[in-house]
């Protein structure tokens, strides 16, 4: 999985769902920890479209 995300340092698994994993991570250019949500290959096709929309929305959220 690390090969698919070369710009991120992957950490421990934070959670999992039926079609996804959530990992702790860090991106050196963001200078902050991130949560990395990975869709498992067997997920239904429509899920990836919803995931992309959600990723765009969450990208603007900060704490």
Residue 21 sits in a domain of what CATH number? 3.30.200
Q: Is the pTM of this model over 0.95?
A: no
Mean pLDDT across 14-25 = 88
At residue 62, does pLDDT exceed 70? Answer: no
Containing domain of residue 51, as a range? 2-58
Q: Which residues of 52-63 are buried (b: 16+ CB within 10 A; e: fewer)?
A: eeeeeeeeeeee
The number of folded domains in the chain is 1
Taking a C-beta distance cutoff of 8 angstroms, is the pair 20, 40 a contact?
yes
The whole-number pLDDT of residue 14 equals 95
What is the share, in percent, of the chain residues with pLDDT greater than 70? 76
At residue 11, does pLDDT exceed 80? Answer: yes
Taking a C-beta distance cutoff of 8 angstroms, is the pair 14, 22 a contact?
yes
The answer to whether position 63 is within a domain reads no
Supply the DSSP symbol for 26: E
The answer to whether position 11 is within a domain reads yes
The whole-number pLDDT of residue 43 equals 63
The answer to whether position 18 is within a domain reads yes
The answer to whether position 30 is within a domain reads yes
The whole-number pLDDT of residue 40 equals 76
The answer to whether position 40 is within a domain reads yes
């Amino acid at each position: 999985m690390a090969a698919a995300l070369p710009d991120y340092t992957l950490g421990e698994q934070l959670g999992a769902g039926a079609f996804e994993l959530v990992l702790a991570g860090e991106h050196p250019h963001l200078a902050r920890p991130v949560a990395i949500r990975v869709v498992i290959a067997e997920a239904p096709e429509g899920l990836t479209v919803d995931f992309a929309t959600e990723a765009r929305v969450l990208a603007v959220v900060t704490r």
